[in-house]
Amino acid sequence: MADQSLYEKFGGEETIGKVVDYFYDELVLKDPTVKDFFIHTHMEKQRKHQTKFISFALGGPNQYTGTSMAAAHKGMNIQPEQFQAIAKHLHDALAHFGVAESDIEQVIAKVATLKDDIIYK
């Protein structure tokens, strides 16, 4: 199906939720370069927001009601190498669930459009 969104292709919000869980549990929260950003984060709420955000970014229904990327990252002073670490973890989480490299590249390209709203804030 050529007009199928990545959201549909990946299996919808339930599957994206599993990717998000793996992303945090197995990658982000074990990475010393980025895990400290989440010390005071309510992780269940974070997972839900991230699942909704990624679902929307992949062409799913717009259920994301969180703050803007710039506001959400204000005061964090995320550096380019930390942004890259998160992008790599997202890549690896998607690959872990068998997502094709060409589809992962599309996801990472969408994430890259947010870089200016995230780093150095």
CB of 33 within 8 A of CB of 87? Answer: no
Binding residues, by number, are: 49, 73
Residue the block writes with tokens 């699942």: 51
Using alpha carbons only, how large is the chain's radius of gyration in Å? 14
Rounded distance between C-alpha atoms, residue 86 and residue 84, angstroms: 5
Task: Quickly count: other Cβ atoms within 10 Å of residue 64's Cβ.
Answer: 16
Q: Residues at the annotated binding site for heme? A: 49, 73
